[in-house]
Amino acid sequence: MRCSSRRAQRACSLVDTMTRARIPPSHAVLLALLLLGGAGRAHALHTQVVERDGERYTLVELDLAQDRLELRWTGDEGKPLGGVEGARAWAQAHGRTLEFVTNAGIYDRELRPLGLHIEDGQQRRRLNTVRLPGTVGNFSMQPNGVFYIDQAGHAGVLSTEAWQRQPPLARIASQSGPMLLVDGQVNASFDAASRSTKIRSGVCAPDPRHVVFAISHAPVSFHRFASMLRDTAHCRDALFLDGSLSQIWTRTGGYVGAPAPQLKPWVGMFLVLAPPAAASVTR
């Protein structure tokens, strides 16, 4: 049994424990997979609720070796999917089951992504390099940046300037802002004593093969949210996605984030679909 992924490492640990208990190795492997929910699954979403300084956050970790993260703006008719129900209906129309969905980056009044938006390798909105004076909205706080997964399946977060200098060959990409973490440091624009609090959501990649989406359960400051991602998710670069309208939805856990009365239509959204039903296996 290969123990390369985090999920496999947990399975291998269980196998080792059961083997020492004199359970036959073949039985131990099967039991470990069953205990971890691995039998018959082809995705590895890992959801946890963490508490830091009295504040609660939900973190959803994706293993890109098993979870294919998608970015969608519109459905087949060219209209924005709009939210969880729109994404679920779109998935069902394609014979798929929605496993995870959350809002992508910030958008404009015409319900268009405010910056770079790449789906399936196709650029639908170009990189936004406009710098507004002061701090006119979250996107204008510097640096802003881009979350992406490249054609090789590697994830990362780059500042807009870094992307402009050397853009990766991306399969998906979403520009938003501000960056929460830059090279392991909390964004210097954030005030640790700030009283400006909102529900916050963000994304980071602790390593190129894993992605973490995070959302606060209650309003928090930028500084506290960024610090949590650095210290709990162990990310060096992280990107803010949105505030008061943000939610994360998983098929097993339901909704976390903004209450329904605060919600507005989503424009871009990240989602994970269950793989198509496997064909019958010939024994």
Is the pLDDT at 253 greater than 50? The verdict is yes
Whether residue 98 sits in one domain with residue 87: yes
Task: Determine contact, residues 273/96, Cβ cutoff 8 Å.
Answer: yes
Q: Which domain holds residue 26?
A: 1-41
Residue 279: both structure tokens together: 């064909």
Whether residue 165 sits in one domain with residue 53: yes
Is the pLDDT at 5 greater than 90? The verdict is no
Is the pLDDT at 220 greater than 90? The verdict is yes
Is the pLDDT at 19 greater than 90? The verdict is no
Whether residue 195 sits in one domain with residue 241: yes
Whether residue 52 sits in one domain with residue 35: no
Is the pLDDT at 283 greater than 60? The verdict is no
Q: What is the full DSSP assignment across 240-281?
A: EEESTT-EEEETTTEEEES-GGG---BSSEEEEEPPPPPPPP
pLDDT for 98: 97
Q: How confident is the model at residue 257 (pLDDT cuts 50, 70, 90)?
A: confident
Q: Is residue 282 part of a domain?
A: no
Whether residue 80 sits in one domain with residue 2: no
Q: Is residue 281 part of a domain?
A: no
Q: Is residue 283 part of a domain?
A: no
Q: What is the pLDDT of residues 143-177, one digit of tens each?
A: 999 999 999 999 999 999 999 999 999 999 999 98
Q: Is residue 13 part of a domain?
A: yes
- What gap in Å lies between CA 58 and CA 51, rounded to an integer? 9
Whether residue 49 sits in one domain with residue 15: no
pLDDT for 44: 72
Q: Is residue 280 part of a domain?
A: no
Q: Is residue 203 part of a domain?
A: yes
Q: Is residue 8 part of a domain?
A: yes
Contacts of residues 129-137 at CB distance under 8 Å and 24 or more positions apart, as own/partner, are 129/160, 129/164, 135/189, 137/106
pLDDT for 271: 97
Whether residue 111 sits in one domain with residue 35: no
Phi, psi of 168 (to 5 degrees): -70, 160
Whether residue 265 sits in one domain with residue 215: yes
Q: Which letter does DSSP use for residue 131 in this model? A: -
Q: Is residue 279 part of a domain?
A: no
Q: Mean pLDDT lowest for which of 5-19, 95-109, 138-152, 191-205?
A: 5-19
Whether residue 132 sits in one domain with residue 247: yes
Percent of the chain exceeding pLDDT 90 equals 64
Average pLDDT, the chain: 84
pLDDT for 140: 67
Instruction: Give the number of domains in the chain.
Output: 2
Q: Omega before 276 cis (within 30°)? A: no
Whether residue 114 sits in one domain with residue 28: no
Whether residue 166 sits in one domain with residue 59: yes
Whether residue 150 sits in one domain with residue 116: yes
